[in-house]
Chains A and B, each alone.
Chain A
């Protein structure tokens, strides 16, 4: 158990809908990262927050947004869902997020299926 929690574990929804994925980092970690893992794209970095502020941005679509709250939990919002958004979404956390040595610890993931 990494100490990172994600809810829900599974999510099934329809095209065009909007969903919210939730992540709680390990105790004491200030950084939260979001990743998307799909069969054809592999593990893709989406976005990083550090202590409530956006720190780095990867291949995140405009239909997707995220935020980190004062209690450090984070939410990833996915809207206007398409079939291709079906994937495993991971949240990871690290203590700082501003260092080469920063190790990210992953949550169990949320499996999103868009029908």
Chain B
């Protein structure tokens, strides 16, 4: 079974509008971390935002916010006031305990296109 599921292979959004990128996860652990990364066409992976499983408030970082719904096991990324530079691949990831340490699992990604 997929640990991280991003159901939207591609999304379109009009410039200046908000967009939500979906992410659901599967874990039986109580303690875990959720991350979002952006990968522009240039290829680098850019850290955007982090949410801990015990954090009661949704994480926010500038125009990025994470809509964390623990009971539904979802961690959707909300980008407000989209800009042309937001066009990129976005990856959701989960960090959880593993034998002897921790592991981070990435979803398949969602490609976001911002239209002018």
A and B part of one assembly: yes
| Size of interface on A: residues with Cβ below 8 Å to B | 26
Of all chain A residues, which has the CB nearest B98? A56
> Which residues of chain B have a CB within 8 Å of any CB of chain A?
31-33, 35, 37, 43-47, 50, 52-53, 91, 95-98, 100-109
Indicate which residue in A48, A99, A101, A106 contacts B45 across the interface (CB closer than 8 Å).
Answer: A106
Verify A103–B100 contact, CB threshold 8 A: no
Question: Which residues of A pack against B, CB within 8 Å?
Answer: 2, 33, 42-43, 45, 48, 55-56, 58, 88, 90, 92, 97-109, 111
Query: Which of A43, A55, A105, A108 interacts with B47 by CB under 8 Å?
Result: A105
How far is A78 from B32 in the complex, measured between Cα atoms in Å? 32
Most chain A CB inside 10 Å of its own CB: which residue of B37, B50, B101: B101
Residues of B close to A103: CB separation below 8 A: 35, 47, 50
Closest Cβ of chain A to B63, distance in Å, is: 19
